[in-house]
Amino acid sequence: AVVSTQSTGKSAGALVCTVVTTMRKVLTVVLSFIFFTKPFTEHYVWSGSLVLLGIGITIYTRNKGAIRAVFAGALAGTMRSVQKFAMAHQTPISRQEKTVLQV
Q: Encode pLDDT of 58-91 as tens digits.
A: 888 888 888 778 777 777 777 777 777 777 766 5
Please report, as a single letter, which amino acid is at residue 82.
V
Q: Evaluate the CA torsion angle 7, 8, 13, 19 in order and state its sign.
A: negative
Determine the Cα–Cα distance for residues 29 and 17; give it in Å rounded to an integer.
Answer: 19
Q: Encode pLDDT of 7-61 as tens digits.
A: 776 777 777 777 888 888 889 988 988 888 888 889 988 998 998 898 888 888 8
* Helix-, strand-, coil-residue percentages of the chain, each rounded to 5: 85, 0, 15
Determine the Cα–Cα distance for residues 100 and 77; give it in Å rounded to an integer.
Answer: 13
pLDDT the model gives residue 38: 80
pTM of the shown model: 0.45
Query: Which residues, in sequence order, are CB contacts of 93 under 8 Å at separation 6+?
Result: 86, 101
